[in-house]
């Protein structure tokens, strides 16, 4: 089926969602399918690190990576300290964030640091938009969504940095966050690419909400016939 017709159907059926994605400049996907326990398991955090963070960093030598104190408009700092070893490879540091030489840290030795950062901080990774391996990553998530209260769950500095890199450097930026039920990533992208990425994730992701899955079933069937 012609892609434009498929896209038009998505936009027609989910126009309110598409408008919110464009207005906010981002959308969110869940990276763990955790429905049976209170907190994501160690294995789930390892999978997020390997499947998402490592894949993104390997896709671009120009990636820039920051770890922000998890402070939001409604929550104070998470003071959980990082593991004593190994030490992260730091390129720069402020009171709110560190910039990592992340390309030198995608190894087993530094895995515990990444798992700590996923649990207790906001990890921001920005790469040139043409380097985003969306074909590989869009099937490895659940439930595309739009949050209108990002400031309540993410560090404001992380949000502003992502927006700045998207606007000035034409990057795609990712903010990773673990919480009591799942691990999520919020994806920021230039307007010229944002809706295309949202549609791609809708078509390829998995769903834990049967109602959403039923709504998108027709679009997915038509997309497979192309």
Q: pLDDT tens digits for 177-200? A: 998 889 999 999 999 999 999 989
Residues 6+ apart with CB under 8 A from 143: 29, 30, 205, 206, 207, 208, 209, 212
Residue 33, helix vs strand vs coil: coil
Provide the pLDDT for residue 1.
41
Range of the domain at 155: 3-225
Relative orientation angle of helices 210-225 and 3-13, to the nearest 10 degrees: 160
Q: pLDDT tens digits for 97-114? A: 999 999 999 999 999 999
Mean residue pLDDT of the chain comes to 87
Mean pLDDT score, 29-41: 82
Farthest CA pair distance, the chain:
55
Q: Beta partners for 177?
A: 184
Give the chain's domain count.
Answer: 1
Q: Is the pLDDT of residue 3 over 80?
A: no
Q: How far apart are CA 222 and CA 55, in angstroms?
A: 29
HSE-CB for 190 with a 13 A CA cutoff? 13
Q: Which two tokens stand for residue 172?
A: 């795609």
* Cβ atoms of residues 201 and 29 within 8 Å: yes
Q: Beta partners for 93?
A: 98
Model pTM? 0.88
Q: pLDDT tens digits for 9-18? A: 554 555 677 8
């Amino acid at each position: 089926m012609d892609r434009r017709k498929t896209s038009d159907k998505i936009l027609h059926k989910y126009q309110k969602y598409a408008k919110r994605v464009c207005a906010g400049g981002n959308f969110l996907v869940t990276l763990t399918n955790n429905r049976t326990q209170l907190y994501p398991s160690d294995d789930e955090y390892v999978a997020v690190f390997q499947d998402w963070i490592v894949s993104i960093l390997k896709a671009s030598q120009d990636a820039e990576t920051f770890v922000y104190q998890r402070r939001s408009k409604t929550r104070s700092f998470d003071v959980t300290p990082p593991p004593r070893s190994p030490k992260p490879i730091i390129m720069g540091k402020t009171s709110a964030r560190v910039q990592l030489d992340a390309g030198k840290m995608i190894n087993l030795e530094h895995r515990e640091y990444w798992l700590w950062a996923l649990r207790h901080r906001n990890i921001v990774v920005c790469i040139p938009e043409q380097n985003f391996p969306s074909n590989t990553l869009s099937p490895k998530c659940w439930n595309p969504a739009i949050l209108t209260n990002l400031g309540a769950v993410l560090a404001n500095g992380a949000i502003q940095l992502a927006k700045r890199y998207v606007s000035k450097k034409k990057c795609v930026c990712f903010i990773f966050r673990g919480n009591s039920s799942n691990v999520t990533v919020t994806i920021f992208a230039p307007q010229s690419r944002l809706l295309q990425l949202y549609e791609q994730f809708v078509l390829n992701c998995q769903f834990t909400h049967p109602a959403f899955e039923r709504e998108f079933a027709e679009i997915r069937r038509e997309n497979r016939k192309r």
